[in-house]
Amino acid sequence: MRLASTVSYVAHLVAPDGSLVALPYSNTNKLLSPSWQGIKTGINVKAGPCVSLVNGSYVIVILNSQSPDQRWKEAEQLSLYASRHY
């Protein structure tokens, strides 16, 4: 979970020739927050851009969003709705 909530990270790997290689990682999750206990994103041929989010009170699942950026907007809207009404 710690890596899932990290905005950026650089892993240092040893290449076959023995040299050290820096591998940068940037998290594309636009809803990084300590309140989320689980997050899964992806793009699938049949399901399109997807995201599932879990916190202590509810689960949000979005399938076949219009675009990867749109899935974050939809997830944020659903999260705000759920926090206000449940």
Q: Is residue 52 part of a domain?
A: yes
Q: Check residue 12 and give its pLDDT.
A: 94
Q: Please state, in angstroms and rounded to a whole number, the distance separating the CA atoms of residues 62 and 64.
A: 7
Q: How confident is the model at residue 3 (pLDDT cuts 50, 70, 90)?
A: low
Q: Which domain holds residue 80?
A: 30-85
Other CB atoms closer than 10 Å to residue 60's CB: what's the count?
20
Give me the number of domains the chain comprises.
1
Q: Check residue 4 and give its pLDDT.
A: 61
Q: Is residue 70 part of a domain?
A: yes
Phi, psi of 84 (to 5 degrees): -85, -30
Mention every residue, 6+ apart, whose C-beta is less than 8 A from residue 39.
Answer: 4, 29, 31, 51, 52, 53, 54
- Per-residue pLDDT tens over the stretch 10-56: 999 999 999 999 999 887 777 777 677 777 888 888 889 998 888 77
